[in-house]
Amino acid sequence: MNQDLKYYFSLARSKEPQHQNILRDLKYFLKSLEVSDAIITLEDEYDLSAEEALKLDTFFSSYLVGKPLDYIMNESEFMGHKFYVDSRVLIPRPETELIVEWVLGLSLNKNSTIFEVGTGSGCIAISISLKKNELKILAGDLSESALEVARINRKLHNTYNVTYVQSNWLACSLESSLDLVISNPPYLKPNDPHISDLDHEPLMALTTENGSQSFFQIASQAIYSLKFGGRIIFEHGYSQAEEVSNILKDFGYKNITTCKDFQGLDRYTFANK
């Protein structure tokens, strides 16, 4: 353990060839320790307490084995809000905000019931609730440990119109009971080459049989659970729009539409029952 902050700045610089954002991320981390902006910017001398030095040692040991910064800091930003995250849940991705924007743009009436399946950290359901607290929002996950994280975030944001349920997708929902089904399900194939870059995130949040099994299962359950005219929206991989649209078509959904993300890639598809 070293108690001089300058040592950690030099350590970060020495690791920059393999970890190009390490100095930037270290500075971000230091802000969370409430080290002053002036010291961080100037990389000035600063005597660390034993506790701060221990936290910095943990930062480096985690960072250098590839642990994402959000997990190290137990914090992720989504729709401008802070969410608690740890390795039990997927780190929210910026493109997922588009689903929330789409939902907020719908004219749903007060008594509408929406169900977000595969809620993970709860970021989608909670962000909707923060803008539309009159809606009845169900949020489910098969993983009880993911739901524990989602409950932490519900408490953090006081969004008690979100009701959590442990369920295999929509297995718990009744016939014609829902106005809207939302999901950003796992959509990578188990042998996808990107998996090795994501080895700190829960596999269950990432992969599904053939890359499309979750869409199939959710679409098949939702056609039963949605009210007539009710809507479904999926986030999917940029090359999966046609496959997802075909699944929806085969189950009889109408008005199937795909939209692009910030990078101009096909990212989400919605439809009506």
Q: Closest separation between CB of residue 40 and ligand SAM, Å?
A: 30
- Within the chain, what is the greatest distance between any pair of CA atoms? 66
Which residue number, 186 or 230, has a Cβ lying nearer to ligand SAM? 186
Which residue number, 22 or 152, has a Cβ lying nearer to ligand SAM? 152
Which residue number, 76 or 245, has a Cβ lying nearer to ligand SAM? 76
Q: Closest separation between CB of residue 179 and ligand SAM, Å?
A: 19
**Footprint of ligand SAM (CB under 6 A):** 89-90, 92, 96, 117-121, 123-124, 140-143, 146, 168-169, 184-186, 204-205
Residue among 264, 272, 241, 270 at smallest CA distance from 95: 264
How far is the C-alpha of 213 from the C-alpha of 210, rounded, in Å?
Answer: 6
Q: Closest separation between CB of residue 265 and ligand SAM, Å?
A: 17
Which residue number, 124 or 180, has a Cβ lying nearer to ligand SAM? 124
Which residue number, 5 or 99, has a Cβ lying nearer to ligand SAM? 99
Q: Closest separation between CB of residue 93 and ligand SAM, Å?
A: 7
Which residue number, 39 or 171, has a Cβ lying nearer to ligand SAM? 171
Please, which residues bridge with residue 257 across strands? 270
Q: Closest separation between CB of residue 266 and ligand SAM, Å?
A: 17
> How big is the chain by its Cα radius of gyration, in Å?
21
Cβ-based neighbours of 218, under 8 Å, separated by 6 or more: 117, 169, 170, 181, 183, 185, 232, 234
> Beta strand 178-183 with 113-117: parallel, antiparallel or unpaired?
parallel
Task: Please calculate the CA angle 58-13-36 and round it to the nearest 5 degrees.
Answer: 65
Q: In what order do the strands lie in the sheet with 162-166?
A: 162-166, 136-141, 113-117, 178-183, 226-235, 266-272, 254-260
Cβ-based neighbours of 169, under 8 Å, separated by 6 or more: 117, 118, 140, 142, 183, 185, 214, 217, 218, 221
Q: Closest separation between CB of residue 201 and ligand SAM, Å?
A: 9
Q: Closest separation between CB of residue 147 and ligand SAM, Å?
A: 9
Which residue number, 119 or 159, has a Cβ lying nearer to ligand SAM? 119
Residue among 144, 231, 149 at smallest CA distance from 183: 231
